């Protein structure tokens, strides 16, 4: 006979993944949900150029925000005034970068279909012949401005577009769960230097992988073998993968979690001493760790540890009626 718990368990695991998560109305803990627009928003507080801002939103699985209408503009303005009133203006996901004078949203809508409130007559004015990106100031008015200037910005995710990686408890579907470690990993195949790789993992709510033991090293070795690797031109280190340890502070090798590294995992038991060919951590394709110059570009591995959805607690959460709130932990 099926017990009640068992039945609930079956129901929970036969609803489509994304549907279950959409009902919870949770995307990421750093995003704020607005019921009226059925979407999640995040005000980014590290200033970026317009192009970099666009990339960050994409990496977070979201869209570079622009207001669809006055109501949405007002909602974001009120969140902005409440949380970060010292910010005077921010980028919107609208530009005329492709064709001068033809402003479009990052997802291809004409500016006529969305919110604008030009701050003065004659705006947009393409001042100096070099203003292609739109800003919103805290009074709600819009203007064209120089795209290379760094400023704040907002990313938006509609609930309808939300998908969920249940094993890894995160929206990124390309993370792979490891039974060996109980954590999730993604091998990135766009070569970056160690610091850039570190930042990308952070954007994905992860960190450069910390290899704690041989089992985990073996899993990562399997991951490097099973991941398709594009043939790329340009200078980067092939066959190495940035991971989460370093000697950048010259205090000895340590993980990015400030814990000692596993000394058994050095390639051929070789432990570099002093400034010997680099102060950053990588691993070979076989999972053994090596040091590398921090400026060297290579593939890299991010790790996400906040997993563990296959627990009775999740059944309980899903089985209860939703009572609002927007976050589930
Ligand atoms: Ca322009
Ligand atoms: Ca202007």
Q: Say how many Å lie between the CA of residue 97 and the centre of ligand 1.
A: 7
Q: Please report, for residues 9, 12, 162, 310, 321, the alpha-carbon distance to residue 317 in angstroms, rounded to integers and kept in the order given.
A: 11, 10, 19, 12, 8
> Tell me, what's the pLDDT at 271?
75
Q: Say how many Å lie between the CA of residue 260 and the centre of ligand 2.
A: 52
DSSP SS3 for 329? coil
DSSP SS3 for 297? coil
Q: Say how many Å lie between the CA of residue 233 and the centre of ligand 2.
A: 39
> Tell me, what's the pLDDT at 276?
66
> Tell me, what's the pLDDT at 327?
31
Q: Say how many Å lie between the CA of residue 42 and the centre of ligand 2.
A: 25
> Tell me, what's the pLDDT at 4?
52
196 sits in the region (left: phi over 0; alpha: psi -120 to 50; else beta) called alpha
Q: Say how many Å lie between the CA of residue 125 and the centre of ligand 1.
A: 7
Q: Say how many Å lie between the CA of residue 126 and the centre of ligand 1.
A: 4
Mean pLDDT of successive 10-residue segments in the chain (329 residues)?
48 55 93 97 97 96 98 98 96 98 97 97 97 98 98 97 94 94 96 96 96 96 94 93 94 93 88 76 94 96 77 30 30
Which residues, listed in sequence order, are joined to residue 284 by a DSSP beta bridge?
240
Domain 176-304 class in CATH: alpha beta
Q: Say how many Å lie between the CA of residue 123 and the centre of ligand 1.
A: 10
Q: Say how many Å lie between the CA of residue 312 and the centre of ligand 2.
A: 56
List the one residue out of 55, 54, 51, 33 whose CA is nearest residue 42.
33
> Tell me, what's the pLDDT at 314?
33
3-state helix, strand, coil in the chain (%, to 5): 30, 25, 45
Q: Say how many Å lie between the CA of residue 197 and the centre of ligand 2.
A: 35
Question: How far is residue 267's CA from residue 286's CA, in Å, rounded to a whole number?
Answer: 9
Q: Which two tokens stand for residue 271?
A: 């432990």
Contact 74, 41 (CB under 8 A): no
Domain 12-158 class in CATH: alpha beta
Centroid of chain to Cα 179: 24
Which residues, listed in sequence order, are joined to residue 242 by a DSSP beta bridge?
282, 300
Q: Say how many Å lie between the CA of residue 65 and the centre of ligand 1.
A: 19
Question: Could you please report the per-residue DSSP string of 234-290?
Answer: SS-EEEEEEEEEE-TTSS--EETTSSB--GGGBGGG----SSSS-SEEEEETTS-EE
Neighbours of ion ligand 1 (CB under 5 A): 96, 126, 132
Q: Say how many Å lie between the CA of residue 320 and the centre of ligand 1.
A: 52
List the one residue out of 248, 148, 242 whose CA is nearest residue 190.
242
What letters, b where the CB count within 10 A reaches 16 and e where it falls short, cover 49-65?
Answer: bbeebbebbeebbbbbb
Judged by its nearest atom, the ligand closest to the C-alpha of residue 129 is 1
What are the residue ranges of helices labelled H in the chain?
Answer: 4-14, 17-24, 50-59, 70-83, 194-203, 214-226, 312-319
Question: How far is residue 131's CA from residue 101's CA, in Å, rounded to a whole number?
Answer: 10
> Tell me, what's the pLDDT at 250?
87
DSSP SS3 for 16? coil
Say if pTM beats, i.e. exceeds, 0.85: no
Burial class (CB in 10 A: 0-12, 13-18, 19+), 215: middle
Which part of the chain has CATH 3.10.100.10?
12-158, 176-304
């Amino acid at each position: 006979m099926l017990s009640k718990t068992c039945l609930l368990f079956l129901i929970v695991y036969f609803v489509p993944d994304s549907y279950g998560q959409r009902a919870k109305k949770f995307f990421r803990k750093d995003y704020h949900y607005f019921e009226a627009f059925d979407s999640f928003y995040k005000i980014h507080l590290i200033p970026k150029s317009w192009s970099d801002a666009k990339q960050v939103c994409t990496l977070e699985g979201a869209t570079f925000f622009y207001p669809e209408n006055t109501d949405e503009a007002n909602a974001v303005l009120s969140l902005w005034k409440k949380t970060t009133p010292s910010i005077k203006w921010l980028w919107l996901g609208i530009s005329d970068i492709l064709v001068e004078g033809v402003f479009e949203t990052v997802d291809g809508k004409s500016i006529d279909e969305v919110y604008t409130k030009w701050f003065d007559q004659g705006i947009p004015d393409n001042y100096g012949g070099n203003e292609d990106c739109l800003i919103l100031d805290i009074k709600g008015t819009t203007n064209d401005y120089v795209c290379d200037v760094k400023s704040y910005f907002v990313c938006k995710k509609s609930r309808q577009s939300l998908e969920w990686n249940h094993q890894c408890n995160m929206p990124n579907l390309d993370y792979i769960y490891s039974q060996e470690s109980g954590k999730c990993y993604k091998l990135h195949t766009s070569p970056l230097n160690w610091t850039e790789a570190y930042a990308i993992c952070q954007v994905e709510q992860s960190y450069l992988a910390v290899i704690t033991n041989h089992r985990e090293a073996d899993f990562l070795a399997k991951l490097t073998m099973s991941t398709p690797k594009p043939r790329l031109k340009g200078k980067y280190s092939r066959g190495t993968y940035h991971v989460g340890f370093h000697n950048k502070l010259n205090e000895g090798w340590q993980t990015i979690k400030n814990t000692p590294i596993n000394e058994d995992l050095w390639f051929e038991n070789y432990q570099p001493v002093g400034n010997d060919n680099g102060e950053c951590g990588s691993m070979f394709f076989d999972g053994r760790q090596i040091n590398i110059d921090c400026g060297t570009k290579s593939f890299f591995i991010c790790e996400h540890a906040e997993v563990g959805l296959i627990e009775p607690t999740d059944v309980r959460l899903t089985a209860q009626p939703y009572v609002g709130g927007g976050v589930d932990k």
